[in-house]
Structure 1
Amino acid sequence: MKLSTVAPAKSRTDIRYADERGKTRISWLDSKHSFSFGRHYDPRNTHHGLLLVNNDDVVSPGAGFETHPHRDMEIVTWVLRGSLVHQDSTGHSGVIYPGLAQRMSAGKGILHSEKNDSWRLGGEQHRDPVHFVQMWVVPDSDGITPGYEQLEIDDELLRGGLVTVASGMAKHDGAAAIRIKNRHAALHVARLQPGGTAELPEAPYLHLFVARGAVTLEGAGALTEGDSVRFTATGGQKVTATADAEVLVWEMHAAIATR
């Protein structure tokens, strides 16, 4: 995909409420899609900035996504509750859990699976679902060598405010937990206690997702779990928790070029 770094001319704040999302519900999966995904296709809702997928998934124990392919995509997975087992064709495997930043670069092609069956790697079987958000952004270049990276950052999140989880931007060299292969994008996460605040960065494109809890957004009002906001040519607003909350913020300085 071609990218555009032309700054948008007008500022906009577009609130999307949780119940407006597309939904996929089957026996083992409850998935909600912020953008077009699978059979939920809307040509007016394919992406924002560089973000194409923001899926809010709950997977039953013992179930999950069997081995499937990806190509030319930076995939960041953020677990909110439970644990998720990752395995891929480059030989990487492990358990992802809350506070662990994880990125997979699909590049020229990769196969992977994601399942809620950590006991198969050792330990007792559990009955807990796993709740996670999976986000896809386009890379700078197609056909790169596939890769994988993860790092535990739970301690940093305890300090409050936005923590840079994943970034390809030069200004986050040495500051981001993990790197992604797009020099125009960064993911920040904040865990907030009631009354705690985080200030949004300024960027041509921002995407705020309330992963859990409830917050108020300066100038826009109350947001609850599953709500999201797409900002264009703005930023600097404060997000304040009204209950224990976790918010995911994509900062993007380019967008997918549209014809």
Structure 2
Amino acid sequence: MKTVLHKADTRGTAFFGWLHSRHTFSFGRYYDPDRIHFGALRVLNDDIVEPGMGFGTHPHDNMEIVSIPLQGDLEHKDSTGNTEVIRTGDVQIMSAGSGLTHSEYNHSKDDKVNFLQLWVFPKEENITPRYDQKTFKSEDRNNQVQTVVAPDNEQALWINQDAWFSLADINKGLTLDYTLHSAENGVYIFVIDGLVDVNGLSISRRDGLGVYETEKLEIKAGSDSKLLLVEVPMQ
């Protein structure tokens, strides 16, 4: 088993008044040659946007982009005609494919929005851009893994990559096992909240741990914890 640990306080920071962002991997003005990606996972941003503010229209291509609101609601518009509000409990995926433009704004005029945005390199390039989102029940991840993005699961959002995104809420003292889909993959565990032990390694709130060259993870909660697990090809 091999691991790479990214403690929460080592992440890159961007602060523009209306935006406070923490970057697990190199992004924008933050650059660390040792933190470019974890396998096919290229970006993991933890963004807080002030009320009524947001990201103006900007382009993307050939990237799978997943957004997960943790608190508040996010308003999305794109050049393919989608205008949506992504609420806490929802997961959104956008295949930028051959190219599109989009904007993201805090839907509220009163409250901040905090969301995770992750970018994954695609399996096939230049596909027709696509958009999807879905609401997932929180009770379906109580002390179990809830798959929210996958290439092979009709209950999840489809992704143009052999990648699986899962959420799990684990009560203190309980243990979950996660079996990888392929020996060629790795799993990046991001602690949304709490404290967990993964195969003997302890990580806490907003820490990230990449694990690869292993078949299974054993995750034990040291406190009530909320996790995001992202399994991706390492090559």
User: Is the deviation greater in 188-197 or in 57-66?
Assistant: 188-197
Match of 2:146 in 1: 163
Scaled by the length of structure 2, the TM-score of the pair is 0.92
1:29-56 CA-to-partner distances (Å, cap 9, x unmatched) read 1111111101111222111110000001
Q: Which is bigger in relative contact order (C-alpha 8 A, separation at least 6)?
A: 1
| 2:130 matches 1:151 | no
**Distance in 1 between the 2:179 and 2:130 partners?**
28
Deviates more, 1:75-84 or 1:109-118: 109-118
* TM alignment of 1:97-112, pairs within 5 A: 97-112=87-102
CA deviation vs aligned residue, 1:89-126 (integer Å, no higher than 9, x gap): 111111112221210010111111111124xxxxxx4x
* Contact 1:161-1:197 at 8 Å conserved across structures: no
Determine which of 194, 199, 204 is the counterpart of 1:213. 194
Partner of 2:164: 186
**8 Å CA contact retained: 1:74, 1:139:** yes
Shift of 1:235: 4.4
Q: Map of 1:172-251 to 2, 5 A cutoff?
A: 172-175=152-155, 177-182=156-161, 184-202=162-180, 203=183, 204-221=185-202, 223-251=203-231
Amino acid at match of 1:174: E
> What is the deviation of 1:226?
1.0
Q: Tell me, what secondary structure is at the counterpart of 1:237? A: strand
Secondary structure at 1:134's aligned position in 2? strand
Count of aligned pairs: 232
TM-score (norm 1): 0.84
Q: Which residue of 1 aligns with 2:118?
A: 135
Equivalent-residue separation in structure 1 for 2:212 and 2:229 (angstroms): 13
SS in 1 for 2:213: strand
User: Tell me, which stretches of 5 or more residues in structure 1 are unaligned?
Assistant: 1-10, 119-124
Give the C-alpha shift of residue 132 in structure 1: 0.8
2:26 equivalent in structure 1: 36
Q: Secondary structure at the match of 2:216?
A: coil
Q: Is the 2:190–2:228 contact (alpha carbons within 8 Å) kept by the matching residues of 1?
A: yes
Match of 2:14 in 1: 24
* CA pair 98-192 structure 1, distance change in 2 beyond 3 A: farther
SS in 2 for 1:234: coil
Conserved 8 A contact 1:14-1:229: yes
* 1:77, distance to aligned residue in structure 2 (A): 0.5
1:4 alignment counterpart = none
Q: 1:20 to 1:249 in 2, by over 3 A?
A: same
Identity of aligned residues (%): 40
Contact 2:141 2:167 in 1 (8 A): no
CA gap 1:196/1:100 in 2 versus in 1, 3 angstroms: farther
Give yes or no for contact 1:49–1:206 (8 Å, CA) kept in 2.
Answer: no
In structure 2, list runs of 5 or more residues that go unmatched.
none
